[in-house]
Amino acid sequence: MSERMLMIADSVQNCTSIFDTGSDHAFIPIYLIGKNICKLAVASDIRNGPIKVAEKNIRKFDLEDKISLSLCDGIANAAGTDCIIITGMGGQLIADILKREVKIAKKASQLILQPMNAPEKLRRYLWDNGFSIYFENLCREKHKVYNVICAKYTGENHIYKEYELHASEYLVAKEHPLLERYLKTKLKRLDDMVKGGNNPELKNSKLISKLKELVK
């Protein structure tokens, strides 16, 4: 598995069942069952093609009795699962998937989320809707830094400052060694947006100055 996928899988705490959403190869369920981190798993996808690839891999590892397949949109079939994994998609899409089946999301004791972009949109959705972020991590794969966000429903909305949506208070508090690199990429993107005139309100904004403070 890639560094990104290992980071995702290693964020899962021991549990009975996991539901991997958008599981185009079933690598994460296969790894988690193999390490005995969960007893049962579902590899799910919205498209037939990825389900076929997942099926082939599950058969290759002889895990048909432990990993089942589900062709569905988002987490519609995840009711009763301890741990829901949604990775390799945009932050807004992950938030939309949780929102559509929020009753199911609220019951999971672990939500393992890995946004490929816009993590600030996902953190905003989680914090505004009673979900608490209990763990985050970063890893580097090739030249890119990836972020995983682990959350669960507590019913308490989190009060946050705008920059915390981008910088992750968890990673700042932990002084994660990849945080500076991660924030530099983000700052460059924000600077490019200012230069491109797309978001003039960003210029001299507290967000940019606060993020610059965090990058030594």
Ligand X SMILES: C[S@@+](CC[C@H](N)C(=O)[O-])C[C@H]1O[C@@H](n2cnc3c(N)ncnc32)[C@H](O)[C@@H]1O
Q: What share of the chain is helix, strand, coil (3-state, %, to 5)?
A: 45, 25, 30
Q: Of residues 29, 74, 91, 115, which one binds ligand X by CB under 6 A?
A: 74
> Would you count residue 22 as binding ligand X (CB under 6 A)?
yes
Pattern 99-138, binding to ligand X, x per CB under 6 A?
A: ----------------------------------------
* Cα 34 to Cα 31: distance, rounded to the nearest angstrom: 5
Q: How many residues bind ligand X (CB under 6 A)?
A: 14
Helix 3-10 / helix 27-34 crossing angle, nearest 10 deg: 50
Q: Which of 46, 69, 118, 172 touches ligand X by CB under 6 A? A: 46
Q: Does position 50 bind ligand X by CB under 6 A?
A: yes
How is residue 133 written in tokens? 């972020």
**Cα–Cα distance measured from residue 193 to residue 162, given in angstroms and rounded to the nearest whole number:** 17
Q: Does 88 engage in binding with ligand X (CB under 6 A)?
A: yes
Contact indicator for 169, 160 with CB cutoff of 8 Å: yes
Regarding 191 and contact with ligand X (CB under 6 A), the answer is no
Based on the shown chain and the rule CB under 6 A, indicate whether residue 32 belongs to the binding site for ligand X.
Answer: no
Residue of the chain from 24, 55, 169, 191 that contacts ligand X (CB under 6 A): 24
